[in-house]
Copies of this chain bind each other. A is one copy, B any other.
Amino acid sequence: MITQRSLRMTAQRKVILEELTQVNTHPTAPEIHSMVRRRLPHISLGTVYRNLDLLCEQGLVLRLPTQGGKQNRFDGDTKAHAHVHCTECGRVVDLLGMFSHAEMEDRARRESGYHIVSHRLEFVGVCPLCRAKVTI
């Protein structure tokens, strides 16, 4: 059985969520830490990780494993949308108006027999800024 534990709205949790929803850069945990530190100078990195885990569990934040692995990025926008990940600078950008996400999940469910919870459509490429610098 799943018991919905009570989530206290602490100053730290509130600020993390606020910073994350005000930004569309999909920051990493250490990046979020330094963003939040401007408002809460004594917050620890451990607290940031703990809160991100909780917020992901609650579905208020999305965890985005990125190409290369190892590091996660976080997204305060939980509406279904696709991402493009630049191989050069690591930036992750949103793509809206792609495909019908409901239809994708429905097709996946029919083909796999899985109970589909969510999905992630990540394109990998080189962003216009980096294209100018890099010989492809």
Contact = CB atoms under 8 A, between A and B. Distances in A.
Q: How large is the interface on A (under 10, 10 to 19, 20 to 34, 35 or more residues)?
A: 35 or more
How many copies are assembled? 2
A97 interface: yes
Contacts of A22: none
A136 B116 CA distance: 11
Interface string A88-131: 00000101111100001101110111111111111111111001
Interface in A54-72: 63, 65-72
The 5 A-B pairs with the shortest beta carbon distances in the complex, nearest first, are: A69-B72, A114-B125, A65-B65, A116-B125, A65-B69
Interface of A: 1-2, 63, 65-72, 82, 84, 86-87, 93, 95-99, 104-105, 107-109, 111-128, 131, 135-136
